[in-house]
């Protein structure tokens, strides 16, 4: 309790951890997976490494300036430090790799997947796979999923689908952007920093944004994220940043608008989808 304050510890919001059902490959019940509290990290033998990984994911631009070209952090896209359902969560990431990625056309491990984000979403350079920084980020993701039994399927959705039969209308998208997005991301999509230089909201286009090779540069992929996570400050109940404000059409329109505005190129795009099946919203 702070002297002179009317707020006491007893008045703080009680924690209510998210839980998700788990089943095995045959669909048998494996009980519940509970998203761990960060307060539990200090109980781990590699707590320093996990905490370093958590810091890097939150403050990637500041901590790794040689590897991040955009004004963005990993958690600019991974909502609530990767703990939010529908918000590109890390909660099951460790168990999902390696796997065949259609864009790469080959098996990709988690190190390769993270470095893909460095090169595309953050328009930068990959980390050395054996670097302390890469190992720390992997340690944080491993910690999040360590209570999940091997082979468990957790009822978590990375990004729900939107109706891809809908035709984008960028003119309406600009109106949606001005009404719902510009307050945080700026009139020119430049993002928002505080007076100390801390990144508050990432730029959505322009030289400091993600490049054309990022998944977020695709209309329908971006629309899924926007519909279920944006605008972040609207929700007054439950967890912060739950989206659900825009219709599918509005989310598609605004995503068509901002993804097609100028942004950095990505030379490596020429190697994408070598086996075909390029999605219809790919920009190249």
**Helical residues (DSSP H) of the chain, grouped into ranges:** 47-58, 60-63, 79-82, 93-96, 110-119, 132-145, 170-180, 182-185, 219-229, 248-259
Strands lying side by side in the sheet with 19-23: 29-34, 19-23, 153-154
Instruction: Give the pLDDT confidence score for residue 159 in this predicted structure.
Output: 87
3-state secondary structure of 190: coil
State phi, psi for 192 to the nearest 5 degrees: -140, 130
Token output for 143: 């910690």
Instruction: Give the pLDDT confidence score for residue 16 in this predicted structure.
Output: 74
Environment class of 78 (CB within 10 Å of its CB; exposed 0-12, middle 13-18, buried 19+): buried
Question: How far is Cα 106 from Cα 98, in angstroms, rounded to an integer?
Answer: 10
Instruction: Tally Cβ neighbours within 10 Å of residue 25.
Output: 8
Alpha-carbon torsion 168, 87, 116, 201, what sign? positive
Instruction: Give the pLDDT confidence score for residue 17 in this predicted structure.
Output: 79
Instruction: Tally Cβ neighbours within 10 Å of residue 269.
Output: 17
Show pLDDT as tens, one digit a residue, over the chain (284 residues): 444 445 555 666 666 778 999 999 899 999 999 999 999 999 999 999 999 999 999 999 999 999 999 999 999 999 989 998 999 999 999 999 999 999 999 999 999 999 999 999 999 999 999 999 999 999 999 999 999 998 899 999 988 999 999 999 999 999 999 999 999 999 999 999 888 888 899 999 999 999 999 999 999 999 999 999 998 866 666 666 678 889 999 999 999 999 999 999 999 999 999 999 899 999 89
Instruction: Give the pLDDT confidence score for residue 244 in this predicted structure.
Output: 85
3-state secondary structure of 153: strand
Instruction: Give the pLDDT confidence score for residue 198 in this predicted structure.
Output: 83
With CA atoms as reference, report the closest residue to 121 among 86, 71, 194, 164. 71
Which residues, 6 or more positions from 240, have their beta carbon under 8 angstroms from its beta carbon? Answer: 80, 232, 233
Instruction: Give the pLDDT confidence score for residue 2 in this predicted structure.
Output: 41
The reply to whether the predicted model has a pTM over 0.85 is: yes
């Amino acid at each position: 309790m702070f002297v002179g304050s009317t707020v006491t510890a007893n008045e703080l919001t009680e924690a209510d951890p998210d839980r998700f059902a788990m089943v095995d490959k045959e669909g048998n019940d494996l009980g519940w997976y509970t998203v761990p509290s960060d307060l539990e990290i200090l109980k781990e033998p590699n707590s320093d490494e996990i905490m370093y990984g958590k810091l890097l994911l939150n403050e990637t631009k500041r901590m790794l300036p040689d590897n991040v070209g955009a004004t963005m952090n990993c958690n600019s896209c991974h909502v609530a430090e990767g703990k939010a359902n529908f918000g590109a969560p890390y909660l099951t990431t460790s168990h999902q790799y390696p796997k065949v990625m259609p864009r790469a056309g080959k098996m990709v491990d988690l190190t390769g997947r993270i470095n893909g984000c460095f090169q595309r979403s953050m328009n930068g350079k990959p980390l050395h796979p054996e670097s302390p920084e890469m190992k720390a980020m992997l340690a944080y993701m491993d910690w999040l999923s360590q209570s999940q039994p091997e082979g468990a399927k957790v009822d978590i959705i990375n990004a729900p689908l939107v109706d891809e039969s809908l035709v984008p209308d960028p003119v309406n998208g600009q109106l949606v952007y001005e009404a719902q997005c510009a307050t945080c991301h700026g009139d020119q999509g430049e993002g928002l920093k505080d007076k100390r230089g801390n990144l508050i909201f990432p730029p959505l286009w322009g030289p400091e944004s993600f490049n054309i090779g990022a998944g977020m540069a695709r209309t329908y992929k971006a629309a899924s994220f926007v519909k279920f996570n944006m605008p972040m400050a609207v929700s007054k109940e439950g967890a912060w940043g739950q989206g659900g404000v825009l219709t599918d059409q509005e989310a598609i329109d605004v995503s068509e608008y901002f993804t097609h505005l100028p942004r950095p190129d990505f030379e490596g795009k020429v190697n994408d989808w070598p086996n075909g099946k390029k999605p219809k919203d790919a920009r190249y």
